[in-house]
Chain A
Amino acid sequence: MGTLRMDRRLFLQAAGVTAGVAATTQVGCLKYFRKGRTVSNDDRQVPTTCELCPNKCSAIAVVEGGIVRKLNPNPENPKSRDMLCARGNAAIKQVYDPDRIKHPLIRVGARGEGKWKKATWDEAFDFAAKQLSDIKAKHGPEASLWSSTEGFQEVFFKNLGLAFGSPNLVRHPTLCLASVNLAYSATFGTVPSFDLLNSKYVIMSGANRFESIITPDTMDLIGGVMERKAKLVYLDPRFTVTAAKADEWYPIKPGTDLAFILAMLHVIIKENRHSQAFVAASTTGFELLTEHVKPYTPEWAEKETEIPAKDIIRIAREFSDAAPRAVYYAGRRSSWYQNDFQMRRAQAILNAIVGNWDQQGGMVPNAKLPKGEFLFMPWDEPKAARVDEIEKHFPLAAKGDGVYLKLRENVLSGKPYPVKAWMVYKQDPMNAMPDQAKTLKMIEGMDFIGVIDVAMSDMAWYADVVFPESAYLERTDPVEVMAGIWPAVVYRQQVVKPIHDTKPNLEIVQGLAKRLGLSDYFDYTIEQWVEAEFKELPIPMAMEHMKKHGVWAASGQPSYGKTLNPDHRFVTKTGKIELFSERLKEAGYDPLPVYEAPTQPPGDRFRLILGRVGYFTHANQSNNVWLNEFMKENDLWINPKPAERLGIRHGSYVTVTSSVGTVRIKVRVTEEIRPDCVFMLHGFGKKAKMQSLVYNVGASDAALLETAWDKVSGNAAFHETFVKVANA
């Protein structure tokens, strides 16, 4: 009977039914037919750029009745591969989140107590500027710390710190991928992209690309593995989604990846399977490398890694046979061990000797596009040296990023000089940095803390003043050139007006600058800034194009091999790809990667390993109502064998204790992890009550992690903590 009804949609269309008619029907029906039929006339589609992770996917925002209803993928951006992940879709809830900071707040109770006074922007700016000026007068501008994370408006915040006179800008890379960046730079003079769309053989060490973050690499690789018969070999102490999709998974003994890679180098060189022509033409140090890897036999590596020698030999052969369409993939958040840099260097060297450089399916140096720049009035360089003493301890590290953990140590010790003010933009050091107790101590030592953020992060919760930033859907931001195999330009434009009393970061910076006597350096509007950037883009009618499309991508096929001509100079000391690194030698580091066996946990302890899941990835997403639904609480993964030994039952609560802290967390007894490790997910156990869904729910890894860093890059070493687990 039902099946014989008239096709209602077609009927409505044919009859030319208007909004008025639809509006007379009941609520459910009205919702169902709202699309394009609402009474409000503010219905638009606005192309913009997602901000929920660093990938910068292009989205088209559907506005109905003045409200963002839907975000659709924008197929014009090759780098977002016509997709929007769960987080990208849930960005709507970042705007319409009842927990949002709706106006400036000034603390009235103790730090972290959560007692706030609603403030006007003038009050908040005056208060912060007075504190900053007092500290500057007393201790000098270097007594201020400016912490921030990647974002299109980050530049204004950093410039405020510099114009204020502080050398102490500290950014997220040493909590993320500084070791990879530095290792590839040391080898190739640049950090390339991996052409996974065309790779035939991919090896990954813990880079959990199918689970922890969704980017083009995820999509290219899933296509590669499932459709184009590429082979994926995956090493991880945990059986992740990537492990499940891989052709081969090895639950490698944690921290021994370098032994695996060195043994691969050993096999490939011994069997003459490297690309001799490429090695001769473009690299230096091959003889030294040959000598260096002689002791690193597969049999030796088997003992270190628990991966059978015959498999290492076979993988080395398969890898070199598949070259140049073979890559040892670098991955993102690469901060695990104190020898992380050398492990990444070994990967880079392995990639280099099989000749996958600048080849289809290999590693490709990023193509860039020119962009105009707004010429603002320049300031004097900060006079003091950095408080983290980066030049002395990490001479090769990126000075503009700083070294986070070393910086915290120095601030806590008050040496080489005191730091009394902490300004934070879009970052949550409380959860991003290991050892939360130490971070809290650092907070205690501050005379002033100001935080700029969209939501009440744990860091903001401990601030003296909180400046609410407008969400990305409420802002117009600077233009971004995305270097890559397919370079593109993306533009983020305001979709809806701010729904609360919030401001874009530039206006917050300007409000502070005005009261700090630094207005001259910020004498422009976002429109002027963006206009200057549009000017030098290689796009006809750039502004019109970007406003209409939100993205511009170079068309045609990528060109490979531009750097393969004999005259090409790599940005290294020798101008060649340095298998043996001259800069490392000069700086007093091992110029070739030397293996050091990691300390293993004593019998009653486990190595704590961390990870992410793509619908949160970063700590600031777990309070999003559309994402929190998929995981309301994090848990501790433990193998059934040790669980049985300890009498721990699935679903019960345990206490997990490291040398720096204890947390209470639910247990997941699972076969999907090595017996000597436990695992937990990032982003729970929040201290801010204004993250109502995750406040005091689950546990924060930051509370357990000990302070350790990679020796060369200063990257935090997140997998060096041993914990005890006991029934709660």
Chain B
Amino acid sequence: MRNTLLILAAAALLAAPLAAQGGSDTKGKFYFKKTCKACHAPGTPAKEITPLSKTQAQWKAYFAAGKHKKGAEKLDSVLKPEQVKDVQTFLVNHASDSPQPETCGG
């Protein structure tokens, strides 16, 4: 377990410079819901995916690889390049280990 985490952390470090930075969280959520969720929702053929499906490091690694359908096709073929950046920002911001300071309402 510990080793896996270390490997993932290392992967994240490597991936960081490659990963697109500074996308729009709001836009990312929009494209994620509109595009990704079209197939990755409950009751659809593909596996359900939410931001919580992966850790920050795992999302970063996923986007660094840039592959879709278990590596069968490029991520660019389903999302426009500028949208990829936004979706990544959204998913990383809301990953299973993202610190999400809780608030009241809003």
Task: Please say whether the chains A and B touch (CB closer than 8 A).
Answer: yes
Residues of A within 8 A of B (CB): 54, 148-151, 154-155, 158, 162, 171-173, 176-177, 181-182, 184-185, 189-191, 373, 375-381, 396-401, 569, 571, 573, 575, 583
Q: A375-B34, A400-B106 are in contact. Are A185 and B99 (CB under 8 A)?
A: yes
Contact present for A398 and B24 (CB under 8 Å) = no
The residue on B at minimum CB distance from A567 is: B1
* Interchain CB contact under 8 A, A150 and B106: yes
Complexed CA–CA distance, A189 and B27 (Å): 26
A583 in contact with B99 (CB, 8 Å):
yes
A185-B99, A569-B96, A575-B97 given; A150·B104 CB < 8 A: yes
A-chain residues with CB within 8 Å of residue B97 when the two chains form the complex: 569, 571, 573, 575
Shortest CB–CB separation between residue B106 and chain A, in angstroms? 5
In the complex, what's the smallest C-beta–C-beta distance from A462 to chain B, in angstroms?
A: 24
Choose among B96, B101, B105 the residue that contacts A54 (Cβ–Cβ < 8 A).
Answer: B105
- Can you report 21 residue pairs joining A to B where beta carbons are below 8 Å apart? A54-B104, A54-B105, A148-B106, A150-B105, A154-B106, A171-B106, A185-B100, A185-B101, A190-B102, A191-B102, A373-B33, A375-B30, A378-B27, A379-B26, A381-B23, A381-B24, A399-B101, A571-B96, A571-B98, A571-B99, A575-B97
Given contacts A158-B106, A573-B97, 9 further A-B contacts (CB under 8 A): A171-B106, A185-B101, A373-B33, A378-B27, A396-B99, A397-B101, A398-B101, A399-B101, A401-B103
- B interface size (C-beta, 8 A): 21
A189 CB contacts on chain B under 8 angstroms? 99
Closest to A394 in B: B101
Which residues of chain A have C-beta atoms less than 8 A from B96's C-beta? 569, 571
Instruction: Give the chain B neighbours of A378 by CB distance below 8 A.
Output: 24, 26-27, 29-30
Quick check: A172 and B99 within 8 Å, CB to CB? no
Complex-state Cα separation, A399 to B100, whole angstroms? 10
B contacts, CB < 8 Å to A: 22-27, 29-30, 33-34, 96-106
* Interface of A (DSSP majority class): loop
Residue of B whose beta carbon sits closest to that of A583 = B99
Given contacts A185-B99, A185-B101, contact A375 B106 (CB under 8 A): no
Q: Is the interface of B mostly helix, strand, loop or mixed?
A: loop
A177 near B34 with CB under 8 A, answer no
- Do A173 and B98 form a contact, CB below 8 Å, given A378-B24, A378-B29? no
Contact partners of B25 in chain A: CB under 8 A: 381
B100 with A571: CB separation less than 8 A = yes
Kindly list chain B residues whose C-beta atoms are within 8 Å of the C-beta of A573: 97
Q: Is the CB of A377 within 8 A of B30?
A: yes
A171 touches B103 (CB 8 A): yes
Instruction: Report the bound CA distance from A560 to B42 in whole Å.
Output: 26
Enumerate the 6 nearest inter-chain pairs by beta-carbon distance, A residue then B residue, closest first.
A150-B105, A398-B101, A378-B30, A378-B27, A378-B26, A381-B24
Q: Max chain A CB contacts within 10 Å: which of B24, B98, B100, B105? A: B105
Question: Shortest distance in angstroms between B55's beta carbon and chain A's nearest beta carbon?
Answer: 8
State whether A400 touches B103 (Cβ < 8 A). yes
Q: A158 — nearest CB in chain B belongs to which residue?
A: B106
**B104 contacts A177, C-beta separation under 8 Å:** yes
Within the assembled complex, what's the spacing in Å between the Cα atoms of A380 and B30? 12
